[in-house]
């Protein structure tokens, strides 16, 4: 079992207190690298989730809102607590997720960056008076907190994803009810432990619920006291939330699935493209929404680019991330492993070639999937159409710019995309043509706290990060004054 000073309590947190685990039921949390149970987290009841909503409602202040200075202090305190406890939060994250320790600790820094950004830009949420005087009135625009927000996060960034939401919610003055993924509740408990000790937020400002998604989701969707849900996860669950909140016309911020094209033109710096692809693709074991999912390589450079990838992939080390010198950890669970294996089998059966990695029949019976490169991929293969979410690099060939823009857009998703070319004008044309919320030019980097990030098409609604993200949890109210 995991031991940590940040995990002394293994319960939910409602109204400023750790809860009692009313029904006494728990669910197991595994270390995917060892397959061992490392903790048991509480499966909370519908009544407890309702109590969390009620606690949030009692912390909401409309007529005498929390001042900008107060909210800034909350954000700074959380940032500082995360930075001071980066090693331990990262260790917990590494053990429940499986990503390499250094990467896990880097995610804590990344998370702290969102609280830092919001604290530095919170002034943008102050009221302002517009310079014109239409209709003989003085018009003031206020940014009101939308109310209690339900924040639902996935397992692939156990601290990064909540940081994006919580920083903006607190900046707006919105209380929240937070549900982490059932694979990774421990990092969230650690965050609550830090907030409990190192901030003086009012009781009910942040509430933690864990357990059955159907129970928690139902309360958050049905409660009239929760006017907004911010969700990061699969498009499938995102669609369900749209349907389940339609009756009440709730505000939804949705960060959903991806199917990122990574395009390499024949005038690209191939070594830089290969390095960036490796860094992008194998982050989090290939389990990020911005991981390249379809690699389009110009036919003139496909062979040489494939060799460069194979050389790099063959040097990578796979193992338990807690041991330091590891590039790639395990996949999150058996279902995740089986999906990557199915995509590999399907591609090889339909004519793809294995450039690096193992054949499906040679894979082990643990969750460690070796980094794998395949070529001659086409649109009939599962790995082209679906988000693989694992360390499989599928390469497809292209000839022209028009053809590759069309192929890149040939997906319902529109989250991240990448183009590698030495031609600036071409890069501008391709970026404009790709219907993706993020398009890296000669970089495989993903989001950052300072810039807005989010999906087009079925990849979501809204933005996190940047000024756009700061405004997600407020509603503009105009007050024209007549005399």
Query: Which stretches does DSSP call E strand in 219-299?
Result: 228-232, 251-255, 260-264, 292-298
Facing residues of 398 across strands?
298
415 binds ligand NAP (CB under 6 A): yes
CB hemisphere CA count around 91 (13 angstroms): 10
Distance CA 376, CA 378 (A): 7
Nearer to ligand NAP, 31 or 459 (CB): 459
- How far, rounded to the nearest angstrom, does the alpha carbon of residue 88 sit from its chain's CA centroid? 21
153 vs 276, beta carbon nearer ligand NAP? 153
Q: How far is the CB of 345 from ligand NAP (least distance, A)?
A: 21
Burial class (CB in 10 A: 0-12, 13-18, 19+), 444: buried
Distance CA 434, CA 407 (A): 10
For the bound state, the minimum distance from the C-beta of residue 270 to ligand NAP, rounded and expressed in Å, comes to 28
| Interacting residues with ligand NAP between 280 and 319 (CB under 6 A) | 289
Residues 224-283 that bind ligand NAP (CB under 6 A): 232-234, 237, 240, 255-258
Which single residue is written with the structure tokens 């070594």? 271
Please report how close the Cβ of residue 143 comes to ligand NAP at its closest, in angstroms: 24
Distance CA 235, CA 460 (A): 8
Mask for 184-213, x = binds ligand NAP (CB under 6 A): -----------------------------x
**Residues annotated as catalytic (active site), given as ranges:** 255, 289
Among 114, 155, 305, 337, binds ligand NAP (CB under 6 A): 155
In the region spanning residues 214 to 233, those forming contacts with ligand NAP, defined by CB under 6 A, are 214, 217, 232-233
CA distance 190 to 160: 13
Restricting to residues 377-396, which ones interact with ligand NAP according to CB under 6 A? 387
Q: Which two tokens stand for residue 399?
A: 């000839």
Q: Which is nearer to ligand NAP, 233 or 357 (CB)?
A: 233
Q: Which is nearer to ligand NAP, 277 or 416 (CB)?
A: 416
CA 277: distance to chain centroid? Answer: 19
Figure out which of the listed residues 42, 90, 154, 414 binds ligand NAP, where binding follows CB under 6 A.
154
Q: How far is the CB of 433 from ligand NAP (least distance, A)?
A: 21
Is residue 289 within 8 A of residue 258, CB to CB? The reply is yes
Rounded to whole angstroms, how far apart are CA atoms 373 and 396?
Answer: 11
Nearer to ligand NAP by C-beta: 181 or 356? 181
Judged by beta carbon, residue 12 or residue 258, the one nearer ligand NAP is 258
Q: Within 289-387, where are the H helices?
A: 302-314, 334-349, 382-385
Q: Pick from 140, 182, 307, 442 the residue near ligand NAP by CB under 6 A.
A: 182
Q: Closest CB to ligand NAP among 63 and 214?
A: 214
Q: In this chain, which stretch among 56-64, 100-108, 177-185, 245-253 interacts with ligand NAP, using CB under 6 A?
A: 177-185
Helix orientation angle between 68-84 and 160-172, rounded to the nearest 10 degrees: 160
Given the complex with ligand NAP, which of 181 and 352 has the nearer CB atom? 181
156 binds ligand NAP (CB under 6 A): yes
Would you count residue 465 as binding ligand NAP (CB under 6 A)? Answer: no
Gyration radius of the chain's alpha carbons = 23
Determine whether 436 is exposed, middle or buried from the number of CB atoms within 10 Å of its CB (0-12, 13-18, 19+): buried
Provide, rounded to whole angstroms, the least separation between the CB of residue 154 and ligand NAP.
3
Q: How near is the Cβ of 244 to ligand NAP at its closest, in Å? A: 7
Look-up of token digits 């040679």: 362
Size of the site for ligand NAP (CB under 6 A): 28
CB of 266 to ligand NAP, least distance (A): 30
Residue nearest to ligand NAP (CB): 217
Which two tokens mark 67? 């001042």
Q: Provide the token pair at 420.
A: 């590698």
Q: How many residues in total does the chain contain?
A: 483
What lies within 8 Å, CB to CB, of 467 at 6+ separation is 121, 124, 452
- Tell me which residue has tokens 């890149």: 408
- Applying CB under 6 A, the span of 89-97, 140-148, 175-183, 424-432 interacting with ligand NAP comes to 175-183
Residues that bind ligand NAP (CB under 6 A): 152-157, 161, 179, 181-182, 213-214, 217, 232-234, 237, 240, 255-258, 289, 387, 415, 455, 459-460
């Amino acid at each position: 079992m995991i031991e940590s000073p940040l995990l002394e309590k293994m319960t939910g947190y409602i109204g400023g207190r750790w809860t009692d685990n009313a029904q006494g039921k728990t669910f197991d949390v595994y270390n995917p690298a060892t397959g061992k149970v490392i903790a048991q987290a509480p499966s909370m009841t519908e009544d407890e989730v309702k109590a969390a909503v009620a606690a949030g409602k009692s912390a909401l202040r409309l007529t005498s809102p929390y001042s900008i200075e107060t909210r800034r202090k909350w954000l700074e305190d959380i940032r500082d607590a995360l930075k001071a406890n980066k090693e331990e939060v990262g260790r917990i994250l590494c053990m429940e997720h499986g990503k390499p320790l250094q990467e896990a600790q880097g995610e804590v820094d990344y998370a702290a960056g969102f609280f830092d950004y919001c604290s530095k830009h919170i002034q943008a949420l102050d009221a302002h008076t517009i310079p014109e005087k239409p209709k003989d009135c003085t018009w003031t625009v206020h940014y009101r907190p939308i109310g209690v927000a339900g924040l639902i996060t996935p397992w692939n960034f156990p601290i990064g994803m909540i940081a994006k939401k919580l920083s903006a919610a607190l900046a707006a003055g919105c209380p929240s009810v937070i549900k982490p993924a059932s694979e990774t509740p421990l990092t969230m408990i650690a965050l609550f432990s830090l907030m409990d000790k190192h901030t003086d937020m009012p009781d009910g400002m942040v509430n933690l619920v864990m357990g059955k998604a159907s129970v928690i989701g139902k309360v958050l969707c049905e409660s009239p006291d929760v006017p907004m849900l911010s969700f990061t996860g699969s498009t499938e669950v995102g669609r369900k939330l749209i349907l389940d909140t339609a009756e009440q016309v709730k505000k939804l911020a949705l960060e959903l699935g991806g199917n990122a094209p990574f395009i390499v033109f024949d005038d690209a710096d191939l070594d830089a493209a290969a390095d960036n692809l490796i860094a992008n693709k194998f982050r989090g074991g290939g389990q990020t929404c911005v991981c390249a999912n379809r690699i389009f390589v110009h036919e003139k450079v496909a062979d040489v680019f494939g060799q460069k990838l194979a050389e790099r992939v063959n040097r990578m080390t796979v193992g338990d991330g807690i041991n330091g010198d590891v590039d790639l950890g395990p996949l999150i669970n058996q279902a995740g492993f089986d999906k990557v294996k199915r995509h590999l089998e399907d591609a090889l059966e339909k004519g793809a070639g294995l450039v690096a990695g193992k054949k499906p029949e040679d894979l082990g019976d643990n969750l460690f999937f070796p980094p794998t490169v395949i070529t001659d991929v086409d649109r009939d293969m599962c790995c082209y159409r679906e988000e693989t979410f694992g360390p499989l690099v599928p390469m497809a060939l292209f000839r022209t710019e028009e053809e590759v823009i069309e192929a890149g857009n040939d997906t319902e998703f529109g989250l991240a995309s990448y183009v590698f070319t030495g031609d600036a004008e071409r890069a501008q044309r391709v970026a404009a043509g790709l219907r993706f919320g993020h398009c890296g030019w000669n970089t495989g980097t993903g989001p950052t706290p300072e810039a807005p990030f989010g999906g087009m098409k079925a990849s979501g609604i809204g933005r996190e990060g940047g000024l756009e993200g700061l405004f997600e949890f407020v509603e503009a109210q105009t007050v024209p004054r007549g005399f």
